[in-house]
Chains A and B, each alone.
Chain A
Amino acid sequence: MIKKLFFSFLIINSAAFAQSNVNPDISLLGTFNTFTNFNKGTPEYGKLNFEIPSFELFIDGYLNPYARATANIAFEDGKFSAEELYASIVRGLPLDIQIKAGKYLLGFGKLNTAHPHAWSFLNRPLFHQVYFGEEGFNDIGANFSFILPTEDFYSTLDLGVYKGDAISNNTGGEDADYYNVRGNSLIFVGRLGSFFSIGDFNNLDVGISASYGNYAKSSFYLPDSIGFPSQMLTYAYGGVDFKFKYKPDSYTSLVVQGEGILNNRDVIRRTELEPVIESITTYGAFIYFDYQFLKQFSIGAKYDFTYGIIGDEPSYNTLANDDMNKTQGIEYWVGYYPIEETLALRLGAQHLKFDLTDNLKKDTESTITLQLIFSLGPHKAHQF
């Protein structure tokens, strides 16, 4: 055991400090969007609008025989950021554990770990926007991945601990003053996933995910906590996901993928006397299909549902705290991929319908987007 621990220490040490003597893979992915909408009163209404182009610069390679490192520098909305920066120990550890540490897209569900350029559709699923934020569930921490001893199918258990920045964004709202930053409080994310090959042409991935932690502190004296300035507000997410792909040849494929989330959290609600902490439960889900009918063309459609009003000021301090209002979305698209994965052209439309309480009304929103994505360099294959 001591020998194994010593060996593990050596590997971790070498992963952290070894220098590569060969160049890593470097690739650049650029995205240009142009759109128009039919939302009366908005400046974009009926006009051709160009978004600021965005790009992602990927640098990826082995540090040594046991470890890899990846950096993804993103330029979005005119700003640079390190979207991902992490090292992974991929082999050599006891129990065949893989460790990933740094900043990256977390494995809650299946879609979150895929970069948007790899999605079949153009718009981030609505519940991702509500419960994970505009950039997805992205945080700083470490993940421990265990491969399970299932003989006939591939199964992994991922357990991670994170700083929690992704979950604690206070986005305003009329009750925002009641919420304080949560301080140093870790969050936990895990996923149990299994992959099945059904014959030569069908593959299915199913998973369940969970996340738990404190997302904020209340900032007032509560009746049952006299003497304490504030109380931690917890959240718990549960998720299910699946992805099915039928691919009889390189010219035809059908992908059906869906995910759902259940959100349970403490929120602060006003009462006539004083604010109180309540527990709410909300949920969201999406499902889509993408049908590649020729080598270079695909069509697809996505249905979305979530609590919270997308694209509006949150009624509560975050969209995830909203248990009254709902958004539904339908998106459909056609994709053209002229030469493998080097270039993609997508034309898509999204319609959003809002369901507000208190007899309030919000008009439906429709947006048409034309998207061009290019991939320069040896961008590695996307995993199923």
Chain B
Amino acid sequence: MKRILITLVILLSTYNSLAEIKVVSTTTVIADLVKIIGGDKVSVDYLCRGDQDPHFLEVLPSYMLKLRKADIVIKIGLDLEKWLPQLIDGSRNDKLKLVDLSSNIPKKEVPTSKVDASEGDVHPYGNPHYWLDPENAKIMAEDIYNALVEASPQDADYFRKNLSNLDSMINSKMKEWSSKLSNLKQKNIITFHKSWIYFTDRFGLNVVGNVEPKPGIPPTPSHDAELVQLIKKGSIKLILMENYYSDSAPNQIAQITRIKVVKVPNAVYGTEGIDSYIKLIDYIVNQVSSNG
């Protein structure tokens, strides 16, 4: 009897140490970072596809089902995923741990006065598109590491090793990316949505206008005309935009001004072949540098 009990205890403890941490992330970028740090100790799924606008995800019960089976849900935060609380409630998973990766990010464009809808879709806690700065990806990775260690302390060394590898990889790629974009330093560009500030600040580009008159507000003919005048006046290199937005207005502006429209994904799996964060930034940098 004693032997059976001991065997059972050993089996149970072995099972526990083999059990994967089930993580669901709100975006594919987070999912990729979790996959790298967690390795085979973690199973990861995501809610928002790479070709979807994360501001407006439909509240689908299938997402609730994913969260129901998860141990941890990781979000970008800063009010990007306004749909998440409903999904968490619908999952009925009271053991689910929520991790907000924005906690340690140096935030940009944090409103200093009261914001309202007259300013468009302004995020009251700051611009949430911080993952487009690879240096921020390292901060996100550190927070993911901490969350995984809390869930599985016995695997801390394994996670730490993977985190170090990721940091090294990003550090080495940063040199390459900075070098590729060095010819565009202090050059002016226009972006579609106000979502590229972390990327452009990191690599020294100036955003001098947006195709959206205000964040989240569709382009208007009068604002397009203003942009045409702006482009004609100054040396503006390109319009940078996410590939889930319609390129109708940017293309009209480009037809008049001959400016280049660079349409890129801003998330992993946002287009074919982009299956990792490194490849995502590679793709964006290559597209911007070759069209700049």
Chain A positions near chain B (C-beta within 8 angstroms): 66, 68, 90-92, 96, 98, 147, 153-154, 195-197, 200, 203, 205, 247, 249-251, 295-296, 338-340, 342, 376, 378, 380-384
Per the bound structure, the CA–CA distance linking A68 and B89 in Å amounts to: 10
Residues of B within 8 A of A376 (CB): 117
How many residue pairs between the two chains, A and B, have CB atoms under 8 Å in the bound complex?
Answer: 70
| Binding site secondary structure of chain A | loop
Per the bound structure, the CA–CA distance linking A77 and B220 in Å amounts to: 37
Per the bound structure, the CA–CA distance linking A199 and B68 in Å amounts to: 20
Range class of the B interface residue count = 20 to 34
Q: Determine whether B218 belongs to the interface, using a CB cutoff of 8 Å to chain A.
A: yes
B61-A381 in contact (CB<8A): no
7 pairs across A/B with beta carbons < 8 Å?
A91-B89, A91-B92, A153-B62, A154-B65, A195-B60, A205-B61, A340-B121
Per the bound structure, the CA–CA distance linking A296 and B248 in Å amounts to: 14
Residues of A within 8 A of B13 (CB): none
Residues of A within 8 A of B64 (CB): 154
Q: Determine whether B125 belongs to the interface, using a CB cutoff of 8 Å to chain A.
A: no
A247-B58 in contact (CB<8A): yes
- Among listed B48-56, B126-134, B164-172, B272-280, interface-contacting one: B48-56
| CB contact under 8 A between A250 and B62, given known A91-B92, A296-B218, A383-B86 | no
Q: Determine whether B157 belongs to the interface, using a CB cutoff of 8 Å to chain A.
A: no
Q: A203-B60, A340-B56 are in contact. List 6 more A-B contacts (CB 8 A).
A: A195-B61, A197-B62, A203-B62, A381-B56, A381-B57, A383-B61
Residues of B within 8 A of A205 (CB): 61
Instruction: List which B101-123 residues lie within 8 A (CB) of chain A.
Output: 117, 121
User: B243-274 interface mask toward A, CB cutoff 8 Å, 1 = contact, 0 = none?
Assistant: 01010000000000000000000000000000
Q: Determine whether B12 belongs to the interface, using a CB cutoff of 8 Å to chain A.
A: no
Per the bound structure, the CA–CA distance linking A151 and B92 in Å amounts to: 15
Residues of A within 8 A of B93 (CB): 91, 96
A384-B246 in contact (CB<8A): no
Chain B positions near chain A (C-beta within 8 angstroms): 49, 51-53, 56-62, 64-65, 68, 82-83, 86, 89-90, 92-94, 117, 121, 216-218, 244, 246
B86-A197 in contact (CB<8A): no
Per the bound structure, the CA–CA distance linking A339 and B218 in Å amounts to: 7
Per the bound structure, the CA–CA distance linking A98 and B88 in Å amounts to: 13
| Binding site secondary structure of chain B | loop
Per the bound structure, the CA–CA distance linking A378 and B124 in Å amounts to: 12
A381-B218 in contact (CB<8A): no
Residues of A within 8 A of B90 (CB): 383
Residues of B within 8 A of A200 (CB): 49
Per the bound structure, the CA–CA distance linking A372 and B60 in Å amounts to: 27
| CB contact under 8 A between A90 and B89, given known A197-B62, A295-B218, A339-B216 | yes
Residues of B within 8 A of A380 (CB): 82, 86
Interface residue from B59, B216, B246 paired with A382 (Cβ < 8 Å): B59
Per the bound structure, the CA–CA distance linking A154 and B216 in Å amounts to: 32
Residues of B within 8 A of A92 (CB): 94
Chain B nearest Cβ from A62, distance in angstroms? 8
Residues of B within 8 A of A195 (CB): 60-62
Per the bound structure, the CA–CA distance linking A136 and B68 in Å amounts to: 32
Smallest CB-CB A-B distances: 3 pairs = A154-B61, A195-B61, A96-B92
Chain B nearest Cβ from A96, distance in angstroms? 4
Chain A nearest Cβ from B134, distance in angstroms? 27
Per the bound structure, the CA–CA distance linking A304 and B167 in Å amounts to: 61
Per the bound structure, the CA–CA distance linking A195 and B63 in Å amounts to: 11
Per the bound structure, the CA–CA distance linking A91 and B94 in Å amounts to: 6
Per the bound structure, the CA–CA distance linking A66 and B59 in Å amounts to: 20
A295-B246 in contact (CB<8A): yes
Per the bound structure, the CA–CA distance linking A250 and B92 in Å amounts to: 28
Per the bound structure, the CA–CA distance linking A250 and B58 in Å amounts to: 10
A250-B68 in contact (CB<8A): no
Residues of A within 8 A of B49 (CB): 200
B89-A381 in contact (CB<8A): no
Find the B residue at minimum CB distance from A250. B53
B218-A384 in contact (CB<8A): no
B244-A384 in contact (CB<8A): no
A384-B59 in contact (CB<8A): yes
Find the A residue at minimum CB distance from B59. A383
Chain B nearest Cβ from A63, distance in angstroms? 13
B62-A251 in contact (CB<8A): no
Chain B nearest Cβ from A107, distance in angstroms? 14
Per the bound structure, the CA–CA distance linking A147 and B64 in Å amounts to: 11
Chain A nearest Cβ from B259, distance in angstroms? 23
- Residue among B83, B94, B216, B218 with the highest chain A CB neighbour number at 10 A: B94
Interface residue from A90, A251, A342 paired with B92 (Cβ < 8 Å): A90
Per the bound structure, the CA–CA distance linking A250 and B246 in Å amounts to: 9
Chain A nearest Cβ from B124, distance in angstroms? 10
Per the bound structure, the CA–CA distance linking A205 and B217 in Å amounts to: 32
